[in-house]
Structure formats: C-alpha cells, structure tokens
Amino acid sequence: MIKYVPEMTSVVIEEIPDMVTLAVEISNCKGNCIGCHSPFLKNDIGEELTEEAIDRLFEENFGVNCFLFLGEGRDLARIIELAGYVKRSKGVAVALYSGRTEVEDEVFRAFDYVKVGPYIAEAGPLNVPTTNQRLYKISHNPFSAEDITSRFWRKGIDPNRS
C-alpha cells in the first residue's frame, strides 16, 4: 500500500523542467537524510493512494502534464502499478523522486523522470553544481536515461546559495 499526504499535494513548475507537475508527497519514507525537508514523511501517515484518489487529484488540478511521486514508500510494486495507471489513464508523464543512491531497472522503465540520491547538506540541493542528486529524463523507445540535473543550476547565482 502507498500512502500520500493530501494536504501537501500541490501543482509546481520547478520540480520537473518544462512540466506543470502535480506533486504528491508519499509517506512511510525509508530514507534517512540528515536535514530532510519533510521528516514527518518517515511516518506511516496520510491516506491510501488509489486509482480513485488519483482520479480525484486530476479532477481538482486541471492542466497538469506530469504526476510526481515525491518519495517511494515501502511498496515498490504498487508505486510502479500506480505510475502505469497515471500514464495509461491520464496520458501524462510520471516522475519519481527517490532518496536512494540507486534504483532498480524496473523503476527506470516505469517512469519518465527519476531523481536519485539522498539529500546531503554538504553537497547542496539539486539547484547547485555540487549536488550529489541526479535527475534523469527517460526515453523509452529506444531506452535511454539522460542526466538533466544541470537544468536546475541557476545561471549567474552564487552556487553556495540554495
């Protein structure tokens, strides 16, 4: 089962380049990032993310062209199943922010965008060149994974600012 925190769901334009993204915070995180921006997501909280809940989220958030799972929870098979549902029924891109250093090949096959890497304060966030995190844009035919992390790096701004 995958749970999300409905009150934390929002439409964003900075998480996935060139996309209007419905960002859904997934609880029961198995990561242990020091300085985590949402430590409450380690807890088993929120509501079950079902196909019906996804339908409601799309009804309430018109105009999005990407669905972002902010975290994985503890049921990889289910999150992959939900990603497939979003792609098939909504016709939008799907993205996953994972705090893990590496993810299974099946994750790359299921999603259009995959971010890997735990937050490490000394390395900085995704928007600085020193970050350890990486965002990949996945092409499925033929399969390839392009590192697009540099699209977040602020041009002309001090890289020590986040």
Q: Within the chain, what is the greatest distance between any pair of CA atoms? A: 44
Q: Domain span at residue 145?
A: 3-152
Q: 3-class DSSP state for residue 10?
A: strand
Residue 162 lies in a domain: no
- Per-residue pLDDT tens over the stretch 48-91: 999 999 999 999 999 999 999 999 999 999 999 999 999 999 99
Classify residue 157: in a domain, yes or no: no
The length of the chain, given as a count of residues: 162
Q: Answer yes or no: is 160 within a domain.
A: no
80-139 tens-digit pLDDT: 999 999 999 999 999 999 989 999 999 999 999 999 999 898 998 889 999 999 999 999
Domain for residue 31, yes or no?
A: yes
Q: Report yes or no on 44 lying in a domain.
A: yes
pLDDT confidence of 162, banded at 50, 70, 90? very low
Domain count, the chain: 1
User: Which residues have C-beta within 8 Å of that of residue 18, sequence separation ≥ 6?
Assistant: none
